[in-house]
Structure 1
Amino acid sequence: MTARRNFKRQVRARAAKTGESYTSALRHFRPTPSGDVMSEAKNPQSVRLAVAQTLVREDPRDVEALRESGREVRALMREASAQGARLVHFPEGAICFPNKFVMSVDGPDAVGPADWDRCQWPVLQSELAAIAELARELRLWTVIASVHRLTEPNRPHNSLYVISDRGAVVTRYDERLLSKTKISYMYSPGVSPVTFEVDGVRFGCLLGMEIHYPELWAEYEKLDVDCVLFSTSGTPGNTAAQAQGHAAVNSYWVSLSVASQHSATAPSGIVAPNGHWLARCPADGSPSVAVVNLDDSSEAAADAVTYGRPWRREASAGIYTEHQVIDPRSEDRTAAF
């Protein structure tokens, strides 16, 4: 705590002397493990991120609905680009989130195995291709959710495509911990985490119901990500509070992208590594984007990134063992006061 106070005091002193903001002054300092400060550190990596909320449509048989979703996504891509975003992140079902009753062979009143022949695959693929082409034109990394078709008779994956600023799919994340309905009737689960980098900032991906599984979020901390992109069409419980908790516990940014239908209770937004919201989309149901800079020199991130994550790693590596003692009053759990 003393080292942290001293560090902040030096940053504020520079800001007062030069007239800079705290964030600008912070760029000139880097604390060492001993708590000393080295000045004129190299600028940290930074990227400008846009998180989107879109109207999620649920019938993959409806050609016009698929086309409208594609148009909406591309309009928000242009808006994000106009605001200087380097990467834009969309919710689960951004093109379509197939409804379990619509897809059910036992439907429309009962849930059963999904009939994926009902999906207008050529239309879905053409919309994704148009999105990839616009990503290339705008030089905008785009993370977009979609159903990923597998070889029959295998069920598809529920996936996040990572499209680079050259318009190429560079990786894909497949939802691993699916809901009971998804795993029973609709999708094949994924098998591994996925990371990628944009301008030196490392991202991880999660999807669907995975907000409820802290082990997946801890896994990305161990993979040294700077930000987790979580896309959902809407999950039970307090999704926004959980996103804040995962960010604070793991000391990384969290981008929460949700369907605009759920924005009244959980609008899309970006959480800083200290658990505070940096920006959120409107809570009025409108398709929109919120844009922020992910920069670990910011005051919102400095303490969590500089101190929180390194200390937790050191603490969990066994540093307490050498301080443990054998003492009768320690072993006797019923010892008097």
Structure 2
Amino acid sequence: MTGIRMAIAQPTITADAAANGKQVRSLMRKAAAGRARLVQFPEGMLSGYAKEQIADWSQVDWDTVRAELEQIMALAAELEIWVVLGSAHPLTPPHRPHNSLYVISDAGVLIDRYDKRICSHTEITHFYSPGFEPVVFDIDGYRFGALLCVEVNFPHLFSQYERLGVECLLLSAYPVDVGFEVKARAHAAINCYWIAMSLPGQTVDLMPSGLINPAGIYTTQVAGQSELAFATIDRDDPTVTGPLKHARPWRAAATKGDIYRSRAVTDPRSSNRTAL
């Protein structure tokens, strides 16, 4: 098998961090049994997501969140699987938590954390502190990046990851409208990389979780109320030769602009835009 095999989770999130952690570990075991190298979970999976499961941070037992996270890290090492896990990340009081994705290696090490940079109006006003940095990491020679939910509306975040050499963007979310899928597919096609979407079971009526290829086409979807699907990212797949080998390099050159500046002309019929 070429490429890298991943699992995309679509679990139902609860307000109980212990129940969420148990569900995460169950799906990790299924992902490992299916030979996945990485398993991705939705936004807010461990702690619960603000506005949905969480009305106030005083409802969250942070000691339980931490204990569950430590068990998940230990299991990642045991199963030798990478985990990208959505959760609120507590800060020092009185600061509000980040809305985060924990990146846990197959050695059970928390190697990085993506903190949502562009929070919604309600999130930034009442619930979360913003982050400010992109996150990239490599697994078996493939480069991944991470974004969260409402950030789907900000193209510059997706193009930044293209410039950082990302081949698969992990987009974990808790979507509220069907337009989310259209935007995600467009970003995949425009930037010529895979986008993996992990969404909660609560939003299956809007769209499925799944993997979108660099042509903007779903290659895998989580079926119905299922909780997990497997997908393979393979840069040598002939069906994505056009986007990866031709379109992406050309668009990078076009964005740089030298091919146009070298062909600039000095001509009054060019500079006079009202000439017939």
Q: Flag whether TM exceeds 0.5 (same fold).
A: yes
Q: Corresponding residue for 1:92?
A: 43
- 2:103/2:111 contact within 8 Å kept: yes
Q: Corresponding residue for 1:166?
A: 107
Q: Corresponding residue for 1:68?
A: 19
In structure 1, the residue corresponding to 2:48 is in which secondary structure? coil
In 2: Cα distance, 1:120 partner to 1:189 partner: 21
1:325 aligns with 2:265: yes
In 2: Cα distance, 1:46 partner to 1:243 partner: 22
Q: Corresponding residue for 2:94?
A: 153
Unmatched tracts of structure 1, length 5 or more = 1-23, 25-44, 60-64, 105-113
In structure 1, the residue corresponding to 2:262 is in which secondary structure? helix
Unmatched tracts of structure 2, length 5 or more = none
- Residues 1-337 of structure 1: matches in 2 within 5 Å? 46-57=3-14, 59=15, 65-100=16-51, 114=56, 116-282=57-223, 284=224, 286-318=225-257, 319-336=259-276
Task: List per-residue Cα deviations over 1:139-165 (Å, max 9, x = no partner).
Answer: 010000111111111111110000111
In 1: Cα distance, 2:246 partner to 2:49 partner: 43
In structure 2, the residue corresponding to 1:209 is in which secondary structure? helix
CA shift, 1:237, in A, is 4.7
Identity among equivalent positions (%) equals 41
- 1:51/1:269 contact within 8 Å kept: yes
Report the residue type matching 1:79 in the other structure: K
Distance 1:257-1:98 versus aligned 2 partners, 3 A rule = closer
Number of aligned residues? 275
CA shift, 1:102, in A, is 7.2
- 2:37/2:81 contact within 8 Å kept: yes
In structure 2, the residue corresponding to 1:296 is in which secondary structure? coil
- 1:248/1:275 contact within 8 Å kept: yes
Report the residue type matching 2:108 in the other structure: G
Instruction: Provide runs of 4+ in structure 1 moved above 6 Å.
Output: none
In 1: Cα distance, 2:241 partner to 2:34 partner: 25
In 2: Cα distance, 1:333 partner to 1:277 partner: 43
- Which has the larger displacement, 295-304 or 160-169? 295-304
